[in-house]
């Protein structure tokens, strides 16, 4: 095992609507430790020096080994041999999802197939998936990043971790799996679905940490309740969540149902999978594994870099990948970055929870709306269950939106007046946040579909050519 040092620190105020519960979860043995302290606490000047060296190498490596980059650089008259400082990245062309599509399946690989040990793929909404390949060194780097991030979130070698991401082409399960094994934790590769069995295993095996999408974590909480299992019979203390957005309100719901301390992980298949960034126990942003992933925030109006703290599109350059290096990848995720030192001692940049994607913004009667704004309202109302669907249509040039929410308690159905009061209250709360009226529909308890992976909350009824966002990505 590669622990360089172990640290036990008292965790400060976490971003959390349920501080008492989270604190109890921490008291159940959560420690904050470093997996690779030298790198994780490296002074920023040294880190930036390392990044510059790696940036120079990866730019030349891409130019010499991937036709796409040779063409892009030549067209943009960008000379990879002349990079002198990190800010020279501003002149480097971007890479997009379309580049992956155009080079399907393997044309963006920088090594011959015999060097590829693993393939993963992400499902797109239409057509072919995005394919990613890994060399042995890539797989080692990936599990190192994951081990760092789960250790930062409080996982230890004493944890019994149930991985409820779907195993298969999706990067989530195997990414967490190998990282947690590298840390020394006990892994239960239970995959997603068959939730009653998941709960049985959780109880019988004494699972202490759960890996899942936030929406599946909620579903697991619901089934624990349905099975009449007392929270004390489940030993969960830590949630390692990610792969989809989770508002603070939804996180609070998960924590109060599962009695654990929930942490967030960010990543995407094209870049590696999970392992790009993740929260430490301070929960004040997700730390990048910045020696491997160089982040920028781009103003989409003019494609220039934003200042620290400003919100824009996250763009990432992989600094160490061999099989599939990716330069200035446009993630479409909207977030901001801070370089402020974190109380945990890590020196890496941190990203805020993404507020949405540049391609999932809805324009309703001229007002820009992100689904996460709606989620924050719904999750904060006890009368409604934490499940919802957004049905988007189009009238003329504007989108219209129906918000379908599920009643928490069937007894509300007995009174029309109560239902109307509730609908009015939801409408009012949504209007306060969004600034416009929306159509709110109340549906019976347990009628909105539960998923074991990423929730599909948007039903897009707009004519095909008008749909400007994709739901899955």
* Residues at the interface with ligand DLL (CB under 6 A): 122, 171-172, 242-245, 264-269, 273-274, 331, 333, 353-354, 357, 473
Minimum distance from CB of 255 to ligand DLL (Å)? 16
CB of 442 to ligand DLL, least distance (A): 27
Least separation in angstroms between CB 460 and ligand DLL: 16
Kindly report the number of other CB atoms within 10 A of residue 298's CB atom: 20
Q: Which residue lies nearer to ligand DLL by CB, 244 or 249?
A: 244
- Report which residue's Cβ sits closest to ligand DLL: 242
Cα–Cα dist 169/141, whole Å: 19
Q: Closer to ligand DLL at the Cβ: 92 or 286?
A: 286
What's the DSSP call for residue 392?
A: E
- The rounded distance, in Å, linking the Cα atoms of 423 and 420 is 5
Q: How far is CA 284 from the centre of its chain?
A: 15
Q: Which of 15, 244 has the CB closer to ligand DLL?
A: 244
- Shortest spacing between CB 272 and ligand DLL, in angstroms: 8
Minimal CA–CA distance to 469: which of 309, 308, 324, 359?
Answer: 359
Q: What's the token pair of residue 212? A: 């899942």
Nearer to ligand DLL, 177 or 257 (CB): 177
Cβ 386 vs Cβ 250: under 8 Å? yes
Closer CB to ligand DLL, residue 80 or residue 348?
Answer: 348
Q: How far is the CB of 130 from ligand DLL (least distance, A)?
A: 7
Nearest to 390 by CA among 401, 375, 378: 401
**Least distance CB 407 / ligand DLL (angstroms):** 27
Helix, strand, coil proportions of the chain in percent (round to 5)? 35, 25, 40
Nearer to ligand DLL, 138 or 333 (CB): 333
Select 26 or 132, whichever has its Cβ closest to ligand DLL.
132
**Secondary structure element (H or E) that encloses residue 64, with its range:** helix 44-65
Minimal distance in Å, beta carbon 264 to ligand DLL? Answer: 5
**Cβ atoms within 10 A of the Cβ of 432, count?**
9
The alpha carbon of 185 is separated from its chain's Cα centroid by a whole number of angstroms, namely: 22
- In 45-97, where do the E strands start and end? none
């Amino acid at each position: 095992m590669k622990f360089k040092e172990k640290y036990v620190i008292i965790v400060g105020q976490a971003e959390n609507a349920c501080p008492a519960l989270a604190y109890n979860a921490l008291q159940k043995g959560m420690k904050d430790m470093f997996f690779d302290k030298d790198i994780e606490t490296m002074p920023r000047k040294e880190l930036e020096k390392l990044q510059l060296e790696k940036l120079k190498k990866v730019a030349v490596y891409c130019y010499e080994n991937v036709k796409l980059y040779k063409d892009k650089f030549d067209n943009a008259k960008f000379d990879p041999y002349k990079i002198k400082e990190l800010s020279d990245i501003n002149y480097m062309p971007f890479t997009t999802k379309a580049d992956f599509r155009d080079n399907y399946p393997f044309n963006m690989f920088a090594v011959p197939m015999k060097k590829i040990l693993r393939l993963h793929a992400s499902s797109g909404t239409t057509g072919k998936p995005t394919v990613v390949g890994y060399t042995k060194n890539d797989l080692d780097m990936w599990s190192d990043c994951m081990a760092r991030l789960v250790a930062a979130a409080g996982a230890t070698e004493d944890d019994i971790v149930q991985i409820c991401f779907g195993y298969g082409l999706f990067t989530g399960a195997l990414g967490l799996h190998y990282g947690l094994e590298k840390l020394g934790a006990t892994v239960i590769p239970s995959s997603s679905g068959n939730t009653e069995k998941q709960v049985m295993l959780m109880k019988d095996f004494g699972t202490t940490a759960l890996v899942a999408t936030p929406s599946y974590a909620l579903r697991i909480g619901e089934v624990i309740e349905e099975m009449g299992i007392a929270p004390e019979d489940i030993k969960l203390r830590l949630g390692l969540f990610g792969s989809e957005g989770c508002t603070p309100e939804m996180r609070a719901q998960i924590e109060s149902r599962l009695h654990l301390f929930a942490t967030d992980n960010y990543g995407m298949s094209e870049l590696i999978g999970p392992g790009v960034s993740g929260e430490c126990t301070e929960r004040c942003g997700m730390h990048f594994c910045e020696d491997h992933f160089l982040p920028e925030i781009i103003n989409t109006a003019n494609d220039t870099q934003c200042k620290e703290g400003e919100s824009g599109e996250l763009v990432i350059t992989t600094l160490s990948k061999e099989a599939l290096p990716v330069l200035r990848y446009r993630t479409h995720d909207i977030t901001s970055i801070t370089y402020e030192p974190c109380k945990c001692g890590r020196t890496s940049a941190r990203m805020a929870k993404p507020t949405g994607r540049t391609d999932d913004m809805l324009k309703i009667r001229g007002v820009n709306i992100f689904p996460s704004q709606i989620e924050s309202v719904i999750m904060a109302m006890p009368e409604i269950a934490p499940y919802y669907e957004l049905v988007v249509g189009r009238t003329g040039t504007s989108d219209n939106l129906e918000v379908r929410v599920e009643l928490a308690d069937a007894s509300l159905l007995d009174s029309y007046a109560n239902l109307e009061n509730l609908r009015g209250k939801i409408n009012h709360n949504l209007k306060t946040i969004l600034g416009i009226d929306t159509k709110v529909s109340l549906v019976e308890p347990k009628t909105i579909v539960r998923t074991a992976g990423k929730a599909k909350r948007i039903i897009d009824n707009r004519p095909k050519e008008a749909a400007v966002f994709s739901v899955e990505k």
